[in-house]
Amino acid sequence: MSVFTPVSEAAMSEWLAGFAVGRLVSLKGIEAGVQNSNFFVTTSLGRYVLTLFENVPRADLPFYLNLMAHLARHGLPVPAPIADQGNEYLGTLSGKPAALVSRLAGSSVAQPDVAQCSKVGSMLAGLHLAGQSYGRRLENPRGAAWRDSASAAVMPHLSAPDAGLLQEELAAQASLDELPLPTGVIHADLFRDNVLWDGEHIGGVLDFYFACHDALLFDLAVTVNDWCAGPDGSLDPARCAALVSAYRLDRPLTEAETTAWPLMLRRAALRFWLSRLEDFHLPRVGELVTVKDPAEFRAILLSRRTGVVSLPPV
What is the model's pLDDT at position 35? Answer: 77
pLDDT > 70: percent of the chain: 95
For residue 115, the surrounding DSSP H or E stretch is helix 114-131
Domains of the chain in sequence order = 9-102 (3.30.200.20), 114-306 (3.90.1200.10)
Mean pLDDT, range 208-218, rounded to an integer: 96
* Per-residue pLDDT tens over the stretch 178-192: 899 999 999 999 999
pLDDT at 244 over 80: yes
For residue 148, the surrounding DSSP H or E stretch is helix 144-154
Mean pLDDT, range 33-47, rounded to an integer: 89
Sorting pLDDT into bands at 50, 70 and 90, what band is 290?
Answer: low
- Listed in sequence order, the DSSP H helices in 17-113 are 61-73
Mean pLDDT, range 83-98, rounded to an integer: 97
Mean pLDDT, range 107-111, rounded to an integer: 96
- Of 115-124, 133-142, 286-295, minimum mean pLDDT range: 286-295
Q: Which of 259, 149, 279, 278 is nearest to 215 (CA)?
A: 259
CA neighbours closer than 13 Å in the CB half-sphere of residue 305: 16
pLDDT at 33 over 80: no
- 22 by DSSP, 3-state: which? coil
Sorting pLDDT into bands at 50, 70 and 90, what band is 34?
Answer: low
Sorting pLDDT into bands at 50, 70 and 90, what band is 286?
Answer: low
What is the model's pLDDT at position 300? Answer: 97
What is the model's pLDDT at position 4? Answer: 82
CA pair distance 91, 124, nearest whole angstrom: 29
What is the model's pLDDT at position 2? Answer: 59
**Would you put residue 213 in left (φ > 0), alpha (ψ -120 to 50) or beta?**
beta
Burial of 210 (0-12, 13-18, 19+ CB in 10 A): buried
pLDDT at 162 over 70: yes
What is the model's pLDDT at position 281? Answer: 93
Sorting pLDDT into bands at 50, 70 and 90, what band is 70?
Answer: very high
Sorting pLDDT into bands at 50, 70 and 90, what band is 213?
Answer: very high
Sorting pLDDT into bands at 50, 70 and 90, what band is 291?
Answer: confident
**Model-level pTM?**
0.93
Q: What is the mean pLDDT of the chain?
A: 94
Q: Which of 302, 272, 22 is nearest to 142 (CA)?
A: 272
pLDDT at 204 over 60: yes
- Listed in sequence order, the DSSP H helices in 155-286 are 160-173, 216-227, 237-250, 255-281
